[in-house]
Chain A
């Protein structure tokens, strides 16, 4: 019931923001160039059952995981340079949306697709693997069972084709 209302709210927010994409900048975020918003930008099909979403402790669990992940990425000497100019507030919000959407939590993803959001960053496989390790760390910290972690990673792994450029 709660998630139903949340999903409804998210849908209203989305249809509202679609109207005036350029004007509305969520609090704490920097303005971005206009782009077409769509759940297809998440570049993964959402899970149909709720089991994995529950294993991630729902939306609250995902929020905590993304907080840990993003903070760790910004501090990680291997990949922090990629995030030097990033809008941390926006990155956290869109990642939370993306994970929630993919895990079948009924959220909508309002960020860019993976190709556009990683364009010209020169990301390597090594960089992507470093981020995956940080995500595994964050999921471990949240106490997500390993098998459930792998279900999310399985959805994210094919994005390597769009993220890795060299």
Chain B
């Protein structure tokens, strides 16, 4: 699996590089600079992949309305996650997003007593507002771009998530994100504090027999810009562990994001999602395609 992921990643990187051979003199349309609106987060909206950032989705600046759609596929040892969705960015200030997540237990479903191919589905509706700062322009200041966001999550497996100990099948996350581009060091940094009750992002419900309180969780991302089209980096996301039947681990990943052009970008990552529902070491490939305007 591990080797397969690496090979797939390498093949994909090659494919993208070949496809991305944009003509040298070509003028690209769209207001924002390449990759300055991040990529699509797995919960919808702009972010780093596993994390939500303070940047606003879409290519438009303070005078326009931009947006993006994305499809994300995560293939770890015993599970698969498919996510797709879209986001609209209004005047580079307000972002509204919607995402649909399908957590496919595959053969593992039978071992869990849920049945082969049992799939948890969740809808995430998000809103984000940039409150201060500018991640890109304000290079003479340490002040990051800061945004506050809210995500309403609704899981379709009420009976199952309650059976494993969750208190509810829906929940609300609130977060504050800070994103800063340190241009003179070619670095992009993000830190997010999220108040959440979600078990495995909400895929296993909200709250639990161990705890049903909102606890602050941290999401951190760091990326190095190799070119205006290419960023490599890492992410870390802490998570609560509310369920007694299985402890929940933090998430981490190593990612490569490549902007083919202003409207298309690809993110590939090696993710480590830790233990999920008693199945250990869920590591594998994360692949996300984003189209924006």
**Which residues does A use to contact B, with CB under 8 Å?**
76-78, 124-126, 129, 132-133, 136-137, 140, 146-147, 150-151, 153-155, 157-158, 160-161, 166
Contacts and interface: CB of A to CB of B under 8 A. Distances in A.
A113 B138 CA distance: 18
B33 A132 contact: yes
B184 A151 contact: yes
Contacts of A132: 33
B12 interface: no
* SS of A interface (majority): helix
B31 interface: yes
Contacts of A154: 139, 182-184
A155 B137 CA distance: 10
B141 to A, nearest CB: 8
Interface of B: 24-25, 27-29, 31-33, 61-64, 92, 134, 136-141, 182-186, 225-228
B227 A146 contact: yes
23 contacts: A77-B27, A124-B31, A125-B31, A125-B62, A125-B63, A126-B31, A126-B61, A129-B31, A132-B33, A137-B24, A146-B186, A146-B226, A147-B186, A150-B186, A153-B139, A154-B183, A155-B184, A157-B138, A158-B139, A158-B140, A160-B134, A161-B137, A166-B63
Contacts, number: 64
Nearest to B29: A78
A76 B27 contact: yes
Contacts of A160: 134, 137
A129 B185 CA distance: 20
Nearest to B28: A133
Which 3 A-B residue pairs are closest in the complex by CB-CB distance? Answer: A154-B183, A126-B31, A154-B184
Nearest to B32: A129
Counting chain A CB atoms within 10 Å of each CB, which of B25, B140, B141, B182 scores highest? B140
Contacts of A129: 31-33, 61
B228 A157 contact: no
Given A125-B63, A137-B24, A150-B186, 10 more contacts: A77-B27, A126-B31, A129-B31, A129-B33, A132-B33, A133-B28, A153-B183, A154-B139, A154-B184, A155-B139
Given A124-B61, A126-B31, A132-B33, A150 B138 contact: no
A146 B183 CA distance: 10
A150 B35 CA distance: 14
Given A124-B63, A125-B62, A129-B61, A157 B31 contact: no
Contacts of A150: 183-186, 225
B33 A133 contact: yes
A125 B186 contact: no
B27 A157 contact: no
A136 B22 CA distance: 15
Contacts of A126: 31, 61, 63-64
B268 to A, nearest CB: 20
Nearest to B184: A154
